[in-house]
Amino acid sequence: TAKRAFPIGFVWGTATAAYQVEGAVKVDGRGESIWDVYAHTPGRIVHGDTADVADDSYHRYPEDIALMRGLGVGAYRFSVAWPRIFPDGTGRPNAKGVDYYKRLVDALRTAGIEPYCTLYHWDLPEALQRKGGWQNRDTAKAFADYAGYMAGQLDGRVQHFMTMNEISTFIGNGYGSASMAPGLGLKGQALEQARHYALLGHGLAVQAIRAATHAKTRVGSAEGINAAMPAFDEPEHVAAARKAAVEENAGYLTAMHTGRYTDLYLKTLGADAPKFTTEEMRIIGSKTDFQGLNIYTGDYYIAADNERGYEAVPFPSSYPNMQSSWIQFAPGAIYWGPKLMAEALGISDIYITENGTSSTAAPDTQGRVLDTDRVMFLQQYLGELQRGIADGAPVRGYFLWSLLDNFEWSRGYSERFGITWVDFATQKRTPKLSSRFYHDVIAGNAI
Ligand code: GCO
């Protein structure tokens, strides 16, 4: 059947994160991260899995790049492990760690794949956690020092840097609830202050990266948003969802793009509000060149006659979800999410820095992995993305999460997000049916 085209020059990529794929946790002078400690704490990870080996991509990256060439992607989003660069978080850089990432980006470029680099995907050096981690304002400064240093080292080889991945998740799940490292379970003002210092780290890093790189180097972040969707497409509900996009992301993207906390946000927090200065807010609002959005699912809103002007509609128990229970099947999220965030916050360039799903599909008797649930998911989400772009959403590229099955945080290896099957006993990689599907989308630049 006829396909609908993406814009010429649209960037197609895949994404991974250092701790989830690299392994080699003790190689070449890497320091310990909070995730090493957490994963080795009994009871934290499903089946007691760790990422000590993971996909061994630290050693096998040439093979992973060959997989990407086969797919035809033009870009790869990876992250740098801070503890490989500064094993104790601060101090003297570790040349072997720096060299590894130079080799990686050089190999990518040789293969015609543009590297997109995230500087923090949750693997905080344990040495900094011992001093309070993101609860300590000094961590924001340490992060900016590391980010500026590393971006300077990769400048010229990398054009797009993202400061942090999903502050909302590592603060919410690592500091708020205890389901991710460091597993603190903070509440109230303490949690808000940590969130504020993480945002400050982002802002300071934007400035540090700019100071260390060429004028043409582009700086942004990759944030997980509450992707607001109108329950159905009628003007009053769309307006309600647009208000929700601002208020429901007030502690993260809204603050980062406006340099302020909304009145409603501060009022709702009351005595739990973070302590902050005008200068800090100015730094948090440092201008970026693009915004990465990680979109897996969304939330429905309807118009309401209340102070907010909207009401969240919870998912009924019969609502369909993917293998991961938190991924409600909501392709409208990738239509509305970027569109409403761009309209409400005046964002001009967006990349979908993650989208994808887990699947239980496993090798059949012929060794094939027929992950039709993922194919269906991608077909619907990419269809909605194309429709959103046609309707004016300024989305410039898409990174599928993930190239490989990998260490899915607290879920260990029990949830597989890859379009490539990984046999963790042998490290053998086998492209799944979804790889073929994605290959064809890229080849045709259409869905
Ligand atoms: C995320 C993470 C990924 C996860 C993915 C699936 O940003 O949440 O970047 O590391 O693996 O989202 O849960």
3-state SS string over 157-204? CECEEEEEECHHHHHHHHHHCCCCCCCCCCCHHHHHHHHHHHHHHHHH
CATH superfamily of 11-444: Glycosidases (3.20.20.80)
Average pLDDT over every residue of 146-156: 98
401 Cβ below 6 A of ligand 1: yes
Please report, to the nearest 10 degrees, the dihedral formed by the alpha carbons of residues 76, 82, 87, 91 taken in order: 130
Q: Which long-range contacts (CB under 8 A, 24 or more apart) does 185-190 make?
A: 186/135, 188/271, 188/272, 189/271, 189/272, 189/273, 189/274, 190/135
- Amino acid identity of residue 179, one-letter, is S
pLDDT at 300: 98
- Residue-wise pLDDT for 61-73, tens only, equals 999 999 999 999 9
Distance 442 CA to ligand 1 centre (A): 22
For ligand 1, atom 13, the nearest C-alpha belongs to 408
Q: Catalytic residue numbers? A: 166, 354
Q: Which of 79, 401, 403 to mutate to test ligand 1, by most ligand atoms within 8 A of the CB atom? A: 401
8 A C-beta contact, residue 4 and residue 446: yes
Q: List, in order, residues 6 or more apart from 155 with CB less than 8 Å away.
A: 212, 213, 214, 217
pLDDT at 209: 98
197 Cβ below 6 A of ligand 1: no
Q: Which of 296, 324, 355, 409 to mutate to test ligand 1, by most ligand atoms within 8 A of the CB atom? A: 409
Q: Is pLDDT at 189 greater than 90 in this prediction?
A: yes
Task: Write out the H or E segment, with its range, that includes residue 352.
Answer: strand 350-355
Average pLDDT over every residue of 77-102: 98
Q: Is pLDDT at 1 greater than 90 in this prediction?
A: no
Q: Is pLDDT at 331 greater than 90 in this prediction?
A: yes
Q: Is pLDDT at 276 greater than 90 in this prediction?
A: yes
Residues above pLDDT 70, as percent of the chain: 100
pLDDT at 229: 98
Q: Round the average pLDDT of the chain to a whole number and report it.
A: 98
Average pLDDT over every residue of 311-333: 98
pLDDT at 319: 98
